[in-house]
């Protein structure tokens, strides 16, 4: 490439850069068509000057307003603790109950028992410690196994 053709290429690149600065986006489109002939440095300068700022920079520094998309969720009613039913033991200490033994155990265990102690729940049912007057030991029974007399 001769010196004169190199100078002419530089002049056309400068003219393209000036028109980009003056005209903005419309000149950028024309610079793209000229960019095929322009050198690599001229194309990188054009793209850097018109490129949007990266998202990592603050909006004030980049002079670009970041648009925030807001989505609305349906209103949720707060749960009131007073509305929830508070379940407690059905039977009290000293109360007489009828105990129905499970089908797989001893069938002679069914009968009248006295509630000796209230125990915490085991999943769905509360538990009780019960004692029969005919036995020397106490049993643990679920609430579903007991009936009132």
109-135 tens-digit pLDDT: 889 999 999 999 888 889 999 999 899
Q: Is residue 83 part of a domain?
A: no
The set of residues, in sequence order, having a beta carbon less than 8 Å from that of 122 and lying 6+ positions away, is 142
Six-digit token string for 111: 């009968």
β-bridge partners, 129: 117, 140
Q: How far apart are CA 147 and CA 118, in angstroms?
A: 15
Residue 79 forms part of a structural domain: no
| Residue 81 within any structural domain of the chain | no
Whether residue 139 is contained in a domain is answered as: yes
Count structural domains, the chain.
2
Per the structure, the complete domain to which residue 27 belongs is given by: 3-62
Residue 84 lies in a domain: no
Mean local confidence (pLDDT), 73-77: 71
Angle, CA of 38, 40 and 42, to the nearest 5°: 60
The pLDDT tens digits of the residues spanning 17-67 come to 887 777 765 544 554 554 455 455 545 554 454 555 555 555 555 566 778
How many whole angstroms separate alpha carbon 15 and alpha carbon 141? Answer: 96
Q: In the 8-state DSSP scheme, what is residue 135?
A: -
Q: Which of 47, 62, 77 is the last residue of a domain?
A: 62
Same domain, 7 and 55: yes
- Residue 84, pLDDT score: 55
The pLDDT of 99-113, averaged and rounded, is: 83
Which of 62, 83, 113 is a domain's end point?
A: 62
**Of the residues 19, 38, 62, the one at which a domain ends:** 62
Continuous segment of H or E residues that includes residue 81: none
- Global model pTM greater than 0.95: no
Same domain, 142 and 100: yes
């Amino acid at each position: 490439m001769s010196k004169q053709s190199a100078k002419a290429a530089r002049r056309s690149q400068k003219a393209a850069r000036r028109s980009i600065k003056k005209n903005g986006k419309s000149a950028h489109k024309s610079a793209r068509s000229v960019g095929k002939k322009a050198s690599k440095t001229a194309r990188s300068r054009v793209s850097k000057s018109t490129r949007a700022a990266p998202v990592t920079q603050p909006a004030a520094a980049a002079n670009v307003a970041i648009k925030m998309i807001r989505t609305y969720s349906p209103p949720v009613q707060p749960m009131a603790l007073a509305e929830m039913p508070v379940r407690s033991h059905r039977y009290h200490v000293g109360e007489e109950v009828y105990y129905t033994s499970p089908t797989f155990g001893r069938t002679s265990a069914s009968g009248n028992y006295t509630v000796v102690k209230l125990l915490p729940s085991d999943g769905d049912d509360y538990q009780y410690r019960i004692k029969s007057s005919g036995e020397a030991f106490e049993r643990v029974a679920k609430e579903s196994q007991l009936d009132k007399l």
